[in-house]
């Protein structure tokens, strides 16, 4: 009965009183609810951070893969190039004129037997022992270089009793042998390595034509010296003309346009006129 009364009384409370009681309960439970919300927020934040860390780690791994792939490809290409170089140096075949690159097409009258572009100087120098269009040029100039070098040293070492004016005549013959040695050395080097690359071919082509001019100049020194042995003034004039023409030919030979196959007749005409004028 008491219980019923109490419950009746509680149920009989006014609505305003019940609302106050509920607000009181919510107020008391507020900190607990906030703590629960914070824990949920922390849990969700930790989950988001872990997820973000995983995403960041995956992105870093992906970036590492992206950066590693080009390096691996680069190393693979280097190994492939080394392999190709070794094979190329060991085994190669002569090719026809039509297959040559434009910078190697210097003589269109030689249709077969050309060397392909070589990947290294070692391969170029090893090619002198093979048969191709430059074999004759290489060996004739190489043997001539050795011969004139030997004769030049032998002449310079001869006793002074074999000369009427030892110092002057040794200088005169030294100029001749120097021009011959430089011309033949530049020439055999050019014919050996000109198939290496376009830049190397152009550089040694300039040296080759410069050597030809030096040989022409040096070959005229003994002739003019003994022809005008008793006439120093005309000898000096002719020597000056020879030097001016030779230096002009060397300067012209340094032009890149002058070294192209298109100007082969121009080069031949320049050196022929230089020789005839002298």
Q: Give the separation between CA 209 and CA 274, rounded to whole angstroms.
A: 12
Instruction: Quote helix, strand, coil % in the chain, to nearest 5.
Output: 80, 0, 20
Q: Which two tokens stand for residue 169?
A: 């005549």
The CA-atom distances, in angstroms, between 68 and each of 63, 80, 94, 102 are 8, 18, 40, 38
Ligand-binding annotation for 191, yes or no, is: yes
Q: Give the separation between CA 36 and CA 268, rounded to whole angstroms.
A: 100
CB 90 within 8 A of CB 126: no
Q: Which two tokens stand for residue 238?
A: 């002719």
Q: Provide DSSP, 81-118.
A: HHHHHHHHHH----B-GGGS-GGG---TT--S-BPPPP
Which segments of 15-95 does DSSP mark as H helices, in order? Answer: 15-90
Binding-site positions: 191
Binding-site positions for Zn(2+): 191
């Amino acid at each position: 009965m008491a219980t019923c009364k109490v419950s009746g009384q509680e149920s009989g409370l006014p609505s305003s009183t019940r609302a106050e009681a509920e607000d009181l309960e919510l107020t008391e439970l507020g900190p607990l609810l906030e703590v629960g919300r914070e824990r949920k927020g922390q849990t969700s934040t930790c989950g988001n951070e872990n997820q973000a860390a995983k995403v960041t780690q995956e992105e870093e791994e992906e970036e590492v893969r992206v950066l590693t792939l080009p390096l691996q490809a680069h190393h693979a290409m280097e190994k492939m190039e080394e392999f190709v170089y070794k094979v190329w140096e060991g085994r190669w075949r002569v090719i026809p004129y039509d297959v040559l690159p434009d910078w190697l097409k210097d003589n269109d009258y030689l249709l077969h037997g050309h060397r392909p572009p070589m990947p290294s100087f070692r391969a170029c120098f090893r090619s002198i022992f093979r048969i191709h269009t430059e074999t004759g040029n290489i060996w004739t100039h190489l043997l001539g270089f050795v011969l004139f070098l030997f004769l030049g040293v032998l002449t310079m070492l001869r006793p002074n009793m074999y000369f009427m004016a030892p110092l002057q005549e040794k200088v005169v013959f030294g100029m001749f042998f120097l021009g011959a040695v430089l011309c033949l050395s530049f020439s055999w080097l050019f014919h050996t390595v000109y198939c290496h690359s376009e830049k190397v071919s152009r550089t040694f082509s300039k040296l080759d034509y410069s050597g030809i001019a030096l040989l022409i100049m040096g070959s005229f020194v003994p002739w003019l010296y003994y022809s005008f042995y008793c006439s120093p003034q005309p000898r000096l004039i002719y020597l000056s003309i020879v030097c001016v023409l030779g230096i002009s030919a060397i300067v012209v030979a340094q032009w890149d346009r002058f070294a192209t196959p298109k100007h082969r007749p121009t080069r031949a005409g320049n050196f022929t006129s230089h020789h005839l004028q002298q």
